[in-house]
Amino acid sequence: MRGHFIWKVAYKELVSTLRDRRTLVSTIVMPLIFIPLFTIAFPLLLSRTFGGEQERRQTVGVVGLASLPEGLRERLTRSERAPDGSVLRSGVDLVDVREPLQAVQSGKAQAVLELPARLPGGAGEGQATVKLYSKSSDQRIQAGAAQKVRDALRDYNDTLVRAKLRELSFDETFLAPLRVEAVDAATTQERSGGPLGFIIPYFLLQFILAGAMATAIDSTAGEKERGTLEVLLVSPVRRSEVVVGKLLATTLFAMASAVFGVAGFALAGPLGRLVLPEQVAGEAFASALGGTLAVGAGELLILLAVAVSAALLISAILLSIAVFARSYKEAQTYLTPIAIVLIIPLFMLQFSDFLTKTPLLYAIPLVNGALVILDIIKGALLPANAVTAIVSNLVYTVLFTLLALRSFSREQVIFRN
């Protein structure tokens, strides 16, 4: 194959795709804006939703409010304040109700506490069951009113037990001779991945797909629609050079999208610390979304190699499918399921800690790239697994490129319209 002809085909496709503003938006603007926006807005939303419920004063119903012990009443209604007087955690307003289920379902009370006919006055005087009614499906209630009631009951229960221990001249450690101190053995890099670290490879592969799709469709079905593909095929350029040139252009756009995606993640950390409150932009922010990608130069090269191999494979898949379409819209119909097929295994990465990561798993196309990226983020990468993933993607790339070349060589495919 002649390199200058391949580059001419690729250059033609690059120029043609760059004329479409939508491509520039999906390749450059979306990764740079959407990723920082998501990583900043998500923890902020969690903070405002769940943290705000702790500061907000809710209504809690009590069946038998008159018989509520004073110590428990005080714990339920008391607000916790910071030294500067600001409210850290508000208490609840208590109302007397008779029908607990109806009160919760109607919204009269966010939670209802049903007391038994007789409450023990202290530890050792028998056990009573207190019922707490709330909607388990409502996370705001569970983080607010229901959690406050549970904490107040636990605190009141502990107070009764401690009082009984003092009465019997026992130390508080009598009931708990062992104290557990949790020590985090994870490395800094493993902690930076966070429980939502799987989002990073998910977004990277999705942006690679988005960047490649526009060029793949425009260079195949788009050219069929415009009638320019036939002109290209009767030129002195060989069919193999046409396919490789189009693959090169598609891969370059896919990689550009991935690079801007990585840049978006790199910007998310500093922007989060500027925009978000200190309690959100600190350790919680990094823990939740892997605020920074703490990787070395070697790991960055592996990340780039995996991204390139994934971009090549995705581009080859898209080209081999899009060439069958008669029009731009038909090609979009064919390629949309690819995004769905890619989403399902990528979302399973959140359970990657439960997977037995055998070399065979790293041979599965596209999924292997996501696994390697996740391993890099967590600092658990084995070089052999990275090599397996890259070689596997390249092998599948060759197969799909040969399929695309076969399709470009068949007149019934090229002249379907």
CB-neighbour burial class of residue 234 (10 A; exposed 0-12, middle 13-18, buried 19+) = exposed
Q: What is the CA radius of gyration of the chain?
A: 30
Ordered by start, the domain boundaries in the chain are: 3-47+188-414, 57-143
E strands, 118-238, in order:
131-133
- pLDDT above 70 covers a percentage of the chain that reads 81
C-alpha count within 13 angstroms, C-beta hemisphere, residue 72: 22
> What pLDDT, on the 0 to 100 scale, is given for residue 279?
46
pLDDT digits (tens, 9 = 90+) for 227-236: 776 676 677 7
Helix 199-217 vs helix 328-347: angle between axes, to the nearest 10 degrees?
A: 170
Element (H, E) at 118: none
C-alpha separations of 154 from 114, 157, 159, 368 in Å: 16, 5, 9, 47
Fold of 57-143: D-Maltodextrin-Binding Protein; domain 2 (3.40.190)
β-partners of residue 60 are 94, 111
- Measured between alpha carbons, how far is 182 from 369 in angstroms, rounded to an integer? 34
DSSP one-letter string for 189-206? HHHHH-TTTTHHHHHHHH
Residue 391 has pLDDT above 90, yes or no: yes
pLDDT digits (tens, 9 = 90+) for 343-380: 777 677 766 666 667 788 889 888 888 888 888 777 77
Query: Confidence band (pLDDT; 50, 70, 90) for 392?
Result: very high
Residue 58 has pLDDT above 70, yes or no: yes
Edge-first strand order for the sheet with 58-63 is 92-96, 58-63, 111-114, 131-133
